[in-house]
Chain A
Amino acid sequence: MPLDIYDFSSFTQWVHQSLDAVMSPFWVITTEMVLVGLAFLTFYAIVGLMLVLAERRICAFMQCRLGPNRVGPWGFFQTIADLIKLLFKELIYIKKADKLLFNIAPFIVIIASFLALAAIPFALGLHAVDLNIGIFYIVAVSSLGVIGILLAGWSSNSKYSLIGAMRSGAQIVSYELSVGLSLITIIVLAGTMQISEIVELQRDGWFIFTGHISAIIAFIIFLIASTAEINRGPFDLAEAESELTAGFHTEYSGIKFAFFFLAEYMNMFIVASLGATVFLGGWMPFHVYGWDGFNAIMDFLPPFFWYIGKTAFIIFIIMWFKWTFPRLRIDQLLTLEWKYLLPINLFNVVLMATLVLLGLHF
C-alpha cells in the first residue's frame, strides 16, 4: 500500500486499481462513493466534536475561566460525553407542527454542508470532486442550507422559531452576496474557478500576498461576511438567546437539535477551509518566489498539516469575533451589509481588475 503523506494521489490510484481488479465498473464507482461517504461522515463527526471542544476552551480562555476540564485530560472527552447525552435524549413530538417538514429540515441543513465539503481540497490528491466551477459550486450548494433553517422555523409553529428563521433568512441571503463578491475578486486574480488550479497558482506565493491591497480587503470582507453567513456571533440574531429563546431551533430536541448544532460548526469549518484555500494557499506550503532553500524547508511539513493549520487559524479568528463583539441589531446588520460591505466590495472587484490588467500584482 503506497501511502505517501506528501502526495495522496498514488494512494487513491492504488485504491482504485485494487477495486478495479475484483469487480465491475459499476460496483467500483458505487464502492468508491460509499468509501468517500464513510470517510466524510467520520471526518464530519470528529471535526464537529473537536470544534465544539475548541469553542468552549477558547471561550473560557477569552473570559479568564478554565472551561471543560473534568472529563479526560483538559476536558478532551467532554464533547463525547455530551454527544452520548444528546443521543439518549427524548425527541419531543410537537402536536400542531408540520411533522414532515419539521423532520426534513435538519437533514437539508446537514446535506447542504456535506455537498460543500465535497469540493474542499484537504491535501495534494486528497480532493473528492475537483469541478471545473469549484468555487461557484461551493457558493451554490451552501445557499441551500438557508432553506432548511426557514423550513425549521415555519414548521415548528412557534413565534420564536418563525422570527429566528425570518431573521436568518434575511441575513444569509444578504451576506451571501458579499461572500460571493469577495471570492470573485480572487477569481479575477486567479483567472480560474477550479480549486486545484487555484491552489497550484499559489505555489510562488499565497494570493493574499500576491494580490496585496485588493486581496487583503477581500479577505477582511470574506471573514466578516462569512461569519454572518454561518449565523455566528456577533451576527447570531437568528438564535439570539436573550430575546428568542433559541431562534429557529427552539422546538427541536435531542439528536435533531444536534444536527443543527453540528451543521453550524461544520459550516464554520467549510468557510474557514474555503478562506484558507482561496486566500492563504490551501495545502500549499508558505513559499517565497526565488528563495529555493527556504521553500524546500517549508515543503518538509506535509500539505495536510498546512491545510489544517491555516483552517484552524481562520476558525480561531471567527471564534475570537464571537466572544469579543456584542451582538448587532437587525437594522445595524443590514446597514453593514448593504451600505458598507457591498459598495466596498464592488469597488474592490474593479480595483482588482485594474491591478490585474496593469500587471501590478506579483
Chain B
Amino acid sequence: MMLTASQFMFYFFALAIVIFSILTVTSQRILRAATYLLFVLISTAGIYFLLNYQFLAAVQITLYAGGIVVLIIFSILLTSHVGVKFDMVGWKKRLATGIAVAIGAILVITTILQYQFEASTEAARAVEMRWIGLSLLSYEKEGFVLPFEVISILLLASMIGAIIIARKEEKNESNN
C-alpha cells in the first residue's frame, strides 16, 4: 500500500499521540510526564495543521503547550526535586483504571463506528482568520457575540479572584 503524504503525516502524528499519552500516565518522574504531555499537545496541533485548521492549531500551541504546560512545569519547579520518583501504584488501582479505560474506549469506538460519516469531495479549505473574527462579534444568525461576552465576564471574574487570592493581607503589611 502506497501512502500519500498527508496519510503518512496523519499516522505519524496519531502514533506520536498514542505513544506519548501512554508515557505521560506511566512515567514515574513528574516533569518527564509533563514533557510527554507537551509532545501529545504539539502532535494534536500537528493534526489540526493537517486539517488546514491553522487557527485552532496555533491556539492549541499558545494555550496548551505555551500556557498550560508552562504553568504545570512552573509549579513542578517550585515544589519538586529532581531526584523524586513516584512509586508504582498497587494492583487494585491498576485493575480499576484498566476497567475504566476499557469501558471508555469501547464507548468511544462503538460511537465512532456507528456514526455515518459522509465523505465530502470538496477540497479542504483554510478557515480564514477574518471570518472567525467577524462571526465571533456578530449578533446575527450564527453569530457568537453572546457566548463571547459571557466568557469575557467569566475571565474577568476569575482574574479578579486570582488577584484577591494572591494579594497580601493588609494586616501582615502593617505588622511588617
Contact = CB atoms under 8 A, between A and B. Distances in A.
Chain A interface mostly helix, strand, loop or mixed? helix
B83 A131 contact: no
Nearest to A30: B5
A132 B66 contact: no
B31 A133 contact: no
Interface of A: 25-26, 29-30, 96-98, 100-101, 104, 131-133, 136-137, 139-141, 143-144, 146-147, 150-151, 153-155, 157, 162, 165-166, 169, 173, 176, 191-194
Contacts of A157: 82-83
B32 A147 contact: no
A97 B82 CA distance: 7
Given A30-B5, A98-B32, A101-B31, A173 B54 contact: no
Interface in B4-49: 4-5, 8, 29, 31-32, 35, 38, 42
Given A26-B5, A137-B58, A153 B29 contact: no
B8 A26 contact: yes
Contacts, number: 97
B3 interface: yes
Interface string B54-81: 1100110110011101100110111000
B73 A151 contact: yes
Contact of A132 (B32, B83, B129): B129
B55 A133 contact: yes
Nearest to B76: A154
Contacts of B103: none
Contact of B83 (A96, A169, A173): A96
Nearest to B128: A132
Contacts of B69: 147
A154 B72 CA distance: 13
A101 to B, nearest CB: 6
B57 to A, nearest CB: 8
Given A101-B31, A154-B31, A141 B83 contact: no
Contacts of A151: 31, 35, 73
A154 B79 CA distance: 11
B82 A154 contact: yes
Nearest to A150: B73
B3 A26 contact: yes
Interface in B112-129: 126-129
Contacts of A144: 42, 61, 65-66
5 contacts: A98-B29, A131-B54, A140-B62, A151-B31, A176-B66
B77 A154 contact: yes
A139 B62 contact: yes
B93 interface: no
Given A141-B61, A147-B38, A154-B77, A132 B5 contact: no
Contact of B54 (A26, A137, A155): A137
B31 A98 contact: yes
Given A144-B61, A150-B77, A166-B77, 16 more contacts: A29-B5, A96-B82, A96-B83, A101-B31, A132-B129, A133-B129, A136-B62, A137-B54, A143-B61, A143-B67, A146-B70, A147-B73, A151-B31, A155-B31, A166-B78, A169-B70
B130 interface: yes
A191 B58 CA distance: 18
B128 to A, nearest CB: 6
A192 B69 CA distance: 29
A30 B8 CA distance: 11
